[in-house]
Amino acid sequence: MDPKVRVENGSRKSSDASSQNRRRAGATAVSARHIHIGDAWTTRVKALEAVIKSFRPDGPLKNTCEVVFFEIPGDEHLHVNVTHKYATKVVSGWAGPGTIPDGFVHSRTFRDTPQSEIVQHIRDMVCAARISSRSC
């Protein structure tokens, strides 16, 4: 049986028991949440989160992933961070990786980009190939 992608809304952390059950079942988590989103992006971000919940990878994901949407006051762009537990290959258009306690983060901003293109860019980053730990 192929692992399933589990998506959470990120509004609360899942329990340790839930995390253990996902690991036992072979599921890999992809979560999506938003912070500091103003009126201009609220509807679009909710739609993006719904689409992320429907992501089905071409093959099994081998890296947990969190997508975070946010705005910065005075900046009209939508900011997106995608954090993976393990390092991934570079994806065009994304800055990073930055190293943080939860793993490796890549960032990107969007402004007038059509929704379908935003979804594709995020999917490309979420599904980025994990770099082998044997790599130099």
φ/ψ of 60, rounded to 5, equals: -65, 135
Q: What is the pLDDT along the chain (136 residues), one digit of tens a residue?
A: 333 333 333 433 333 333 333 333 344 578 888 988 888 899 999 999 989 877 776 666 678 899 999 999 889 999 999 999 999 999 999 999 999 999 999 999 999 999 999 999 999 999 898 987 554 3
Query: Are 36 and 70 within 8 A, CB to CB?
Result: yes
Q: Can you give the pLDDT at residue 28?
A: 55
Looking at residue 53, its pLDDT comes to 77
